[in-house]
């Protein structure tokens, strides 16, 4: 019947158009991976300050950490989108404080500066963690660590994008120097920037 033939023709046309879209998408993805070659973002700590550092005999820690991280998108043709940044301050293997930075996007070839404050108030740490920190503090400096966990999509032409990929960046040591002769309170900071490495 004419109506049945028309429906079949429309179905064939729809399938052909769908196949064309899939082929074009496959070509674009091939270009994305084989020609543009996505490069992973890089990060470094441009500044880090530890203030109001207080350590008690009961293994309690009070401190404020102000950290500035610079994130570089090294790609010239790809923008990036981050769903969030999960950040943590470490002392040895122990997590001292955590913070979350909301999702954001980054244009190709640009740097984004992320400033984060971590606050710890009379937090109890077992296993001599605070004692070891106090010993380093008495020598004039403390080695902390930083981690950043995120999921990133690579965008091409503002429309095509890859699946979200998980990244973990670590920076250790973050060498914080304190003024001599001050065992409690006071502020310490890093002298030179420190690079993150991709785990």
- pTM reported for the whole predicted model: 0.80
Is the pLDDT assigned to residue 54 strictly greater than 70?
A: yes
Residue 173 preceded by cis peptide, ω within 30: yes
* Number of domains forming the structure of the chain: 2
Is the pLDDT assigned to residue 109 strictly greater than 70?
A: yes
Q: Do 32 and 43 share a domain, yes or no? A: no
Q: Do 31 and 55 share a domain, yes or no? A: no
Q: What is the pLDDT of residue 7?
A: 67
* CB 197, CB 146: distance < 8 Å: no
Q: Do 55 and 135 share a domain, yes or no? A: yes
Domain that includes residue 76, residue range:
39-198
Higher pLDDT, 28 or 196: 196
Q: Do 80 and 125 share a domain, yes or no? A: yes
Q: Do 2 and 78 share a domain, yes or no? A: no
* CB 78, CB 36: distance < 8 Å: yes
Q: Do 84 and 14 share a domain, yes or no? A: no
Residue 51: φ, ψ to 5°: -125, 160
Q: Do 89 and 119 share a domain, yes or no? A: yes
Q: Do 137 and 150 share a domain, yes or no? A: yes
R_g of the chain computed on alpha carbons: 25
List CB contacts of 52: < 8 A, sequence separation 6 or more: 62, 63, 64, 185, 187
What pLDDT band is residue 58 in, cutting at 50, 70 and 90?
A: confident
Q: Do 91 and 126 share a domain, yes or no? A: yes
Q: Do 8 and 105 share a domain, yes or no? A: no
Q: What is the pLDDT of residue 91?
A: 96
């Amino acid at each position: 019947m004419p109506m049945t033939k028309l429906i079949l023709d429309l179905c064939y046309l729809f399938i052909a158009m769908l196949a064309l879209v899939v082929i074009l998408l496959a070509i674009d993805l091939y270009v994305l991976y084989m020609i543009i070659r996505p490069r992973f973002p890089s990060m470094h700590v441009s500044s880090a300050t530890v203030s109001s550092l207080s350590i008690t005999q009961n293994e309690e820690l009070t401190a404020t950490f102000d950290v500035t991280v610079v994130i570089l998108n090294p790609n010239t043709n790809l923008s990036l989108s981050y769903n969030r940044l999960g950040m943590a301050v470490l002392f040895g293997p122990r997590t001292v404080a955590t913070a979350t930075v909301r999702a954001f996007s980054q244009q190709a070839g640009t740097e984004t500066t992320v400033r984060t404050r971590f606050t710890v108030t009379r937090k109890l740490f077992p296993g001599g963690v605070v004692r070891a920190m106090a010993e380093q503090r008495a020598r004039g400096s403390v080695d902390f660590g930083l981690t950043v966990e995120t999921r990133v999509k690579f965008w091409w032409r503002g429309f095509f994008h890859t699946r979200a990929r998980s990244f973990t960046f670590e920076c250790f040591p973050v060498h914080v120097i304190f003024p001599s002769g001050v065992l409690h309170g006071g502020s310490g900071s890093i002298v030179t920037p420190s690079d993150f490495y991709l785990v």
